[in-house]
Homo-oligomer: A and B are copies of this chain.
Amino acid sequence: VTDSTSHTVLGVVLRVRDGRLEVQLADGALPAAGLRAGEGLDVALARAVEVDGLAHVEQLETRVLEGGGLATAYLGLRPGGDADGDWQPVAGLPGLPPGHAALIAAGQARLRAKLSYTNVGFALAPAAFTISELREVYVAALRHDVSATNLHRVLVRRGVLERLDGLRAPGRTGGRPAALFQFSTQRLEVTDEFAALRPPQR
């Protein structure tokens, strides 16, 4: 006794640019594609957003929409790069369709949590960066201040960051040249799995 309903796939694609967390929109709404019979959800997602540019993708949530149709939302993350498409700061977006704002909030919350105990940062950062630049990304995504000193040490200790050879020349105002870093892995890894209740050592 199963009825049939249409299914939509929505993309919540986030990036950090100029110190602001931005979401990609299409015609004033989250990019979407209808699911066709027999295809996987990822196929429909690829029709909704340019999935090649995404450094990380994960499913967020499935919900029944107001009209009665179903929608599955995905979180996509990509480096700050340059302009292509309609990017808007996540703060205070007016006129979104019902439910879209909640999905953006869910994506932000997920990102925020995973920044703390995984290496997701790789998906928002460029290939090479200074600690200051990475700090800007973390500040924008976490929405609280982050000390460059401690960010450096935490991520290096966890083996998340690797030092590169070059140095970044200082700007016109001077200052010591900054070391360049990269994320050691471009795939999601849990770096702090058992913050508590970890298994016995032996």
Residues of A within 8 A of B (CB): 1-8, 34-41, 59, 61-64, 68, 70, 72, 113, 115-117, 138, 142, 144-147, 151, 154, 192-197, 199-200
Contacts and interface: CB of A to CB of B under 8 A. Distances in A.
A40 B64 contact: yes
Contacts of A196: 116-117, 154, 192, 195
B8 A6 contact: no
28 contacts: A1-B36, A2-B6, A2-B8, A2-B34, A2-B36, A3-B6, A3-B34, A3-B35, A4-B4, A4-B6, A4-B7, A5-B7, A7-B7, A7-B70, A38-B68, A40-B64, A41-B62, A41-B63, A59-B62, A62-B62, A113-B193, A117-B196, A142-B197, A142-B199, A145-B199, A145-B200, A147-B200, A154-B197
A144 B3 contact: no
Copies in the complex: 2
Contact of A116 (B1, B7, B64, B195): B195
Contact of A2 (B35, B117, B193): B35
Given A41-B64, A62-B62, A197 B116 contact: yes
Nearest to A150: B197
A174 to B, nearest CB: 28
Contacts of A59: 61-62
A29 B63 CA distance: 24
Contacts of A113: 193
B197 A195 contact: no
Centre residue among A39, A40, A144, A197 by max chain B CB count within 10 A: A197
Nearest to A47: B1
A117 B7 contact: no
A181 to B, nearest CB: 17
B39 A146 contact: no
Nearest to A115: B197
Contacts of A199: 142, 144-145
